[in-house]
């Protein structure tokens, strides 16, 4: 007794391929096949391209938030309950910084003096958020050390002060001018506290591209900041930069333990948690909407297969009388739809990845069409994020497309398999 052929035998592939290539005049649906193929390709392309741009947007936002800010801030709590009241200042910051830098995953620990003062130049005043930091530590912040635009020389940082571009414009200062910093916490006298005033030469002006930074921030050498703010031998906090900012939460416990009993850590995700959650919700919404687009494209396969089953009723009856089982008929028509869905998915993945990898060329095409540069369009409110292709996004898009196209193919294929060969041949 001959054994049954294995599933997806060669003859099943041959019959499915014959049906896919058949012209409409011969009972085929080649036009519907092409429509289904193009629909799946464009849907997967749109899904991967959108996911890549979305990932690029998130990366750009996170880079903007972290390019000039610490990943973790280490502070000391006040302790007024003991015999000797303790303030929030970190006086052994050198030892604490060494212990923190020795932790696995920590790239840099920067002691910092931070205060808000008033900046003044020739009658123009503006609030200034002063960061007292050493030159070597300042170089670890890419948006300051290597900004989009800059004036002056950061190498002269120890000789003066560095200002954000919008802050310098508001005060009307340029490199070489001397700006006054006015702090209300000055010398205490019998008549009250007198403001503390010092002047510093503007040696560097940076444009980081982030308005909230460029409009208010100034960097002062750590020693000068300690002297001006009366922080002799102490700092307000220690800023940490870690190797993996997205997994910063796992660093909180070891950082706190290495910093001392009164230390507590404040991460960048604590500062921007609402924005991160909003981005996550946006990601999920985009994926759901584009998944519906893939589903609509996959439904074209169903309509094509239904037409194919109807046109091939006589062939199905003949194949059944020749000995093909219901399983073989099901697999033949399943292959017809699955091949279309698989080829469309592969083409869509290729187009989507190529689009994401050449996003700069796409923006160049926008320049050519509009006649304006990308920077000019960004100044008018347009935003051009980068595109980041991740294996997770590609696998999610491909898996969704293949799963939907294969799943919905089963219904018309099952209908063909259950067709009665006698009824199929009765009127032939």
The band of 28, judged by pLDDT with boundaries at 50, 70 and 90, is: very low
Q: What mean pLDDT do residues 325-337 have?
A: 74
Kindly report which listed range (240-244, 293-297, 349-353) carries the lowest average pLDDT score. 293-297
The string of pLDDT tens digits covering residues 127-169 is 999 999 999 999 988 888 888 889 999 999 999 999 999 999 9
User: Is the predicted pLDDT of residue 378 greater than 60, yes or no?
Assistant: no
User: Is the predicted pLDDT of residue 376 greater than 60, yes or no?
Assistant: no
Report the Cα 251 to chain-centroid distance in Å.
Answer: 21
Q: What mean pLDDT do residues 13-23 have?
A: 70
């Amino acid at each position: 007794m001959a054994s049954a052929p294995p599933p997806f035998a060669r003859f099943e592939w041959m019959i499915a391929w014959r049906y896919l290539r058949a012209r409409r005049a011969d009972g085929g649906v080649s036009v519907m096949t092409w429509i289904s193929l193009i629909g799946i390709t464009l849907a997967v392309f749109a899904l991967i391209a959108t996911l890549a741009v979305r990932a690029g947007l998130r990366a750009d936002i996170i880079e903007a938030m972290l390019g000039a800010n610490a990943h973790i801030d280490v502070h000391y709590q006040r302790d007024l309950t003991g015999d000797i009241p303790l303030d929030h200042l970190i006086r052994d910051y050198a030892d604490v910084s060494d212990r923190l830098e020795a932790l696995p995953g920590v790239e840099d620990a920067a002691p910092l003096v931070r205060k808000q003062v008033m900046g003044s130049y020739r009658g123009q005043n503006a609030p200034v958020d002063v960061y007292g930091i050493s030159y070597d530590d300042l170089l670890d912040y890419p948006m300051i050390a290597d900004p989009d635009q800059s004036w002056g020389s950061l190498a002269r940082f120890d000789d003066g002060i560095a200002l954000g571009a919008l802050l310098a414009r508001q005060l009307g200062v340029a490199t070489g001018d001397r700006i006054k910093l006015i702090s209300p916490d000055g010398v205490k006298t019998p008549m009250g506290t007198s403001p503390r005033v010092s002047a510093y030469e503007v040696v560097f002006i940076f444009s980081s591209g982030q308005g909230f930074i460029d409009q208010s921030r100034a960097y002062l050498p750590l020693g000068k900041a300690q002297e001006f703010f009366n922080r002799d031998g102490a700092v307000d906090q220690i800023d940490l930069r870690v190797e993996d900012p997205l997994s910063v939460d796992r660093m909180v416990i070891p950082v706190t333990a290495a910093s001392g009993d009164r230390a507590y850590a404040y991460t960048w995700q604590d500062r921007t948690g609402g924005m991160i959650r909003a981005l996550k919700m946006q990601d999920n919404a985009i994926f759901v909407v584009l998944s519906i687009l893939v589903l609509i494209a996959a439904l074209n396969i169903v309509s094509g297969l239904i037409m194919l089953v109807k046109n091939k009723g006589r062939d199905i009856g003949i194949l059944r009388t020749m000995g093909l089982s219901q399983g073989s008929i099901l697999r033949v028509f399943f292959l017809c739809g699955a091949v279309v869905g698989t080829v469309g998915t592969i083409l869509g993945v290729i187009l989507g990845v190529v689009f994401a990898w050449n996003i700069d060329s796409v923006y160049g095409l926008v320049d050519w069409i509009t006649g304006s540069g990308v920077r000019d369009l960004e100044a008018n409110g347009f935003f051009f994020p980068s595109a980041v292709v991740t294996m997770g996004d590609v696998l999610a898009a491909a898996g969704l497309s293949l799963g939907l196209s294969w799943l919905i193919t089963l219904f018309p294929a099952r209908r063909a398999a259950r067709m009665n060969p006698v009824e199929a041949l009765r009127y032939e």
